[in-house]
Amino acid sequence: MLKKSIIVGAGLLLLTGLFFGRDAASYVSTSMGWMHDSVRDSVPVTFELERARQMIRNLDPEIRKNMRLIAVEESEVEKLRDQVERVNTDLAKSEGHILRLNGDLQSGSSQLEYAGRIYTVSQVKADLERRFDRHKTKEATAEKLNKILSARERGLVAARDKLEAMLAA
C-alpha cells in the first residue's frame, strides 16, 4: 500500500511538472493558500469565539502562577533592599571609625585612649589596617548586592509587564 502511494505521488508530481513546468511550485503553493483560506472562511464565527474564550480560560492558571511569582519576587526584592540598606549603614559607620582612627594617628600622640583603654600607635595602626581591609570587603559586597538588586528589580518589572499583557489578552 505504501509502495503504491509513493508511486502515485511520484506520478502526480511528474505530471504536474510536465503540465506546468517551472511554475508548478508557484501553482501548488497558490492552490494550497486558497484551500487554507477557504477552510478558514468556512469556520463559523461562533466557533472562533468559543475557541478564543477557551484560549483565555487556558490563560487563567498561567496568570495565577505569574501573580504568585511576582508576589514572591516582590518579597525577595524588599528583603534585598533591606539588606543593601543595612550594608550601606554599616559601611558609613565603618568609614566613620576609620576616619576617626586615622585622625587620631595624625594627631601625633604616642598613646591613644579608646573606651577607657590605652593603645600604642602601632596597635592603632594595626587595627586601622584590619578595619580598612574589612571596609574594602564590605564595599565590594555592597557593590555586588546593588547589582543583584538592580537585576532582580528589572526582572520584576518584566514579570509585571508580562502579567499585564496576559490580562489585556
Three-state secondary structure string covering 44-73: CHHHHHHHHHHHHHHHHHHHHHHHHHHHHH
pLDDT of residue 12: 75
Closest by CA to 73, choosing from 165, 167, 168, 163, is 163
pLDDT tens digits, one per residue of 68-118: 999 999 999 999 999 999 999 999 999 999 999 999 889 888 888 888 898
Q: Give residue 26's pLDDT band: very low, low, confident or very high (50, 70, 90).
A: confident
pLDDT of residue 51: 86
Q: Which three cell numbers stand for residue 88?
A: 550601606
What is the CATH class of 46-168?
A: mainly alpha
Average pLDDT of the residues in 30-43: 78
pLDDT of residue 110: 83
What is the C-alpha separation between 75 and 72, in angstroms, rounded?
Answer: 5
Q: Give residue 126's pLDDT band: very low, low, confident or very high (50, 70, 90).
A: very high
Residue 147 CB-half CA count within 13 A: 6
Q: In sequence order, which residues have a C-beta less than 8 Å from that of residue 89 and are 6 or more positions away?
A: none
pLDDT tens digits, one per residue of 55-72: 888 888 888 998 999 999
Average pLDDT of the residues in 125-129: 92
**Other beta carbons within 10 Å of 68:** 10
Residue labelled with grid coordinates 508576589: 71
Three-state secondary structure string covering the chain: CHHHHHHHHHHHHHHHHHHHHHHHHHHHHHHHHHHHHHHHHHCCHHHHHHHHHHHHHHHHHHHHHHHHHHHHHHHHHHHHHHHHHHHHHHHHHHHHHHHHHHHHHHCCCCEEEECCEEEEHHHHHHHHHHHHHHHHHHHHHHHHHHHHHHHHHHHHHHHHHHHHHHHHC
pLDDT of residue 62: 87
Instruction: Supply the pTM of this predicted model.
Output: 0.60
What is the C-alpha separation between 115 and 55, in angstroms, rounded?
Answer: 71
